[in-house]
A and B are shown apart, each in its own frame.
Chain A
Amino acid sequence: MTYVSHLGLQLVSFFDELGRTVLFLKDILKLGIKLDVSRKSVFEQIWRVTVQSLPTTALAGFFVGAIMAVQFTLQVKEFGALGFLGGLATSGTFREVGPLLIAFMLSGKVGAFTAAELGTMQVTEQIDAIRCLGANPMKEIILPRFIGIVIASFFLLAFGLMLSVGGGVLVGIVFSNISPEEYVRHIPTVVTFPSIAGGLYKCFVFATLLATICTYKGYTTRGGAKGVGRSVVSTSVATMVGIVIADWLTSLTAEAVLMFFIRG
């Protein structure tokens, strides 16, 4: 009985938190539609997120491409189809593994940083002070960060995916003895526009999810230094779980859209 009631409470708390996050996103979008935001603050946030995460994303992207190439080498070698290594590895990276792994990296870096920053502002009453000074904290600190994270994360994810091709090429040369030209030759054959669009669609969804969760968790932090720690941890957990679920949903919807256009 205790276990069941505990599980019930956990479920209620999960859906309560989910509902609050959705309402928080609604408030952000309502403000965002009015474009009532300081462009300078948005550019500052884009710059901060990009500079902060570019090396990590580049490294992650490069190695994701390399890992995929190693895995596919083992498979295609058996069929004597090494010529298709580039196409297959790149397709798999763009459509599935790349956005997922790079988004994980970003959630650890950008998500944790933003949640800690906003959480500290909350527990030191800086957000209350903004409100007391007649300004709207959602407009002043949340919206610029949200837009900044979505835009920067989207481009970082896209940049990471491009670099993954480089990682694949390196593996092709070193482990599979194929030239860079041979590696990239079949990429356009396998990696079609829907694959790229699907990958970019995932990047956008993951970026939005990351921005929503980290700003919400930071903004709703309570309970001093311990509270900030809790927010950072729950941001990391929630973004990773959220990204995995979103990956499944975006794969389903992308496939459905693709099928619709193929079958007419």
Chain B
Amino acid sequence: MQGVDPGLFLSKKCLRERLHDRKNRILDNLGIFGGMKKVIRFDRVSKVFGNEKVLNSIDLEIKSGESVVLIGPSGSGKSLILKLISGLLNPTSGSIYINGKDLETLSHDERILLFRSMGMLFQKNALFDSLTVKDNVCFPLRETTDKSQFEIEEIAEYFLKEVGLDHVLDHFPDEISGGMQKRLGIARALALAPEIILYDDPTAGLDPITSRKIVDLILNLKDSGSSTLVTVTNEMNRAYQLADKIVMIVDGEAIVTGNESETKSFQDKRVQQFIKGQVDGPLTDLQ
């Protein structure tokens, strides 16, 4: 058997998969995709909880500076994708690449360093309720940088001013309104000037005016930096406002529907039912 290429004994499917992997490895090493730097890539990612397969071998690519909005029915796995990107959960199978690095192959310290380049706004804010508004923003700076206390406070005050919370610095999170809590969550997520920002339903439970203000704030902050945004929302107006690219997560699949006009004319009954909010259709049958 010596000298014989083992590839000769592989099936066509296996060979195709190997070629696919090799191509992706080369692209990852170059750190490019379609002329733009690829920041996040899902390669046949599946996630199973018990007997339920929530994500079924999905492929997804998000480029640098892009704003991607994830839409889809409740429980379809949108927030799960954010948790997979942020490393809070691991995929059951498949690989997730952040800046060309496979999360699975990274050591604990490498993962921590990588995740410092990300910020996340949680659906229910996840603010530190025993810390003041200012200390919530100071926390990541204090724990992960060598900055002096003076510098840390200066940065925290800057971000809190940016989100319009400079008048409640010494309040505790439960002493401010829901909209203010969202803004505080955004300020905390931005404190480390992350390269990737994940927003999990940033307008959930807010009135339309506050909701609009939050999205404007997110867009203004994006314009002032060059971050890549991944946002989960089910409010289509906000999705259109935020998205360079919309991805619908449904039935374990990730359907890339494109920008606002492309999404509106996308030829998939499930997408059309969802964006139009129709009661009857394939999504209702799925439930």
Interface presence of A16 (CB below 8 A): no
Q: Taking A126-B126, A128-B126 as contacts, is the C-beta distance between A133 and B88 under 8 angstroms? A: no
- Selected from A124, A126, A132, A135, the residue in CB contact (under 8 A) with B88 is A132
Give the one of A125, A128, A134 with max B CB within 10 A.
A134
Give the A-B pair count, Cβ closer than 8 A: 52
Could you tell me the distance between the alpha carbons of A124 and B120 in the complex, rounded to whole angstroms?
Answer: 14
Q: Is the CB of B140 within 8 A of A124?
A: no
Q: Is the CB of A131 within 8 A of B122?
A: no
- Assess whether A129 is in contact with B126, with CB atoms less than 8 Å apart: yes
CA distance A200 to B39 in the complex (A): 56
Q: Which residues of B contact A124 (CB under 8 A)?
A: 124, 126, 129
Q: Contact between A134 and B124 (Cβ–Cβ < 8 Å)?
A: no
Please tell me if the beta carbons of A129 and B122 are within 8 angstroms of each other in the complex: yes
CA distance A186 to B188 in the complex (A): 63
B144:A129 contact, CB within 8 angstroms: no
Please, how many angstroms separate the alpha-carbon atoms of A136 and B109 in the complex? Answer: 10
A126 vs B143: C-alpha distance when bound (angstroms): 15
Interface contact B144-A133, CB-CB below 8 Å: yes
Is A140 in contact with chain B by the CB < 8 A criterion? yes
Contact B192 A129 (CB under 8 A): no
Name the contact of B192 in the complex, choosing from A125, A133, A136, A140 (C-beta under 8 A).
A133
Collect the chain A residues with CB atoms within 8 Å of residue B240's CB.
none
Interface centre among A125, A128, A131, A133 (most CB of B within 10 A): A133
The residues in A between 96 and 152 inclusive whose CB is less than 8 angstroms from any CB of B are 124-126, 128-129, 131-136, 140
Chain B residues touching A, range: 20 to 34
A125 CA to B118 CA, complexed, in Å: 17
Q: In the complex the two chains form, is A136's CB within 8 Å of B120's CB?
A: no
Q: Is the CB of B126 within 8 A of A134?
A: no
A135-B140, A135-B143 known; A129-B128 Cβ under 8 A: yes
Find the residue from A124, A125, A132 having the highest chain B CB count within 10 A: A132
Known pairs A125-B122, A128-B122; A134 contacts B128 (CB<8 A): no
Contact partner, A126, options B87, B129, B140, Cβ 8 Å: B129
Give, as a whole number of angstroms, the nearest-CB distance from B216 to chain A. 24
Chain B 134-156 per-residue mask, 1 if CB under 8 angstroms from chain A, else 0: 00000110011000000000000
The 0/1 profile, CB within 8 Å of A marked 1, for residues 107-126 of chain B is: 00000110110111010101
- The answer, yes or no, to whether B86 is at the interface (CB within 8 Å) is yes
CA distance in complex: A134, B189 (Å) = 11
Residues of A within 8 A of B126 (CB): 124-126, 128-129
Query: In the complex, how many angstroms separate the beta carbon of B129 from the nearest chain A beta carbon?
Result: 7
| B127 CB–A CB distance under 8 Å | yes
With A and B bound together, what is the CA distance between A43 and B118 in angstroms?
Answer: 31
Q: Are A132 and B120 in contact (CB under 8 A)?
A: yes
Annotate A19-30 by CB proximity to B: 1 below 8 A, 0 otherwise: 000000000000
Q: How far is the CB of A184 from chain B (nearest CB, A)?
A: 45
Task: Map CB proximity to A onto B67-90 as digits: 1 under 8 Å, 0 otherwise.
Answer: 000000000000000000011100
Residues of chain A lying within 8 A (CB to CB) of residue B188: 129, 133
Q: How far is the CB of B126 from chain A (nearest CB, A)?
A: 4
Q: Which of B115, B127, B139, B143 has the most CB of A within 10 A?
A: B143
Contact between chains at B139 and A133 (CB < 8 Å): yes
Q: Give the nearest-CB partner of A135 in chain B.
A: B143
In the complex, chain B residues whose CB is within 8 Å of the CB of A126: 126-129
Contact between chains at B140 and A133 (CB < 8 Å): yes
Measured CA separation A22–B144 after assembly (Å)? 29
* A139 to B, closest residue via Cβ: B143
Judging by beta carbons under 8 Å apart, are B122 and A140 in contact? no
Other A-B pairs beyond A124-B126, A132-B118, A132-B120, 6, CB < 8 Å: A124-B124, A133-B139, A133-B188, A134-B112, A134-B144, A135-B112
Residues of A near any B CB (own CB < 8 A): 124-126, 128-129, 131-136, 140
27 contacts between A and B (CB under 8 A): A124-B124, A124-B126, A125-B122, A125-B124, A125-B126, A126-B126, A126-B127, A126-B128, A129-B122, A129-B128, A129-B188, A131-B86, A131-B87, A131-B88, A132-B86, A132-B118, A132-B119, A132-B120, A133-B116, A133-B119, A133-B188, A133-B192, A134-B112, A134-B113, A135-B143, A136-B112, A140-B143
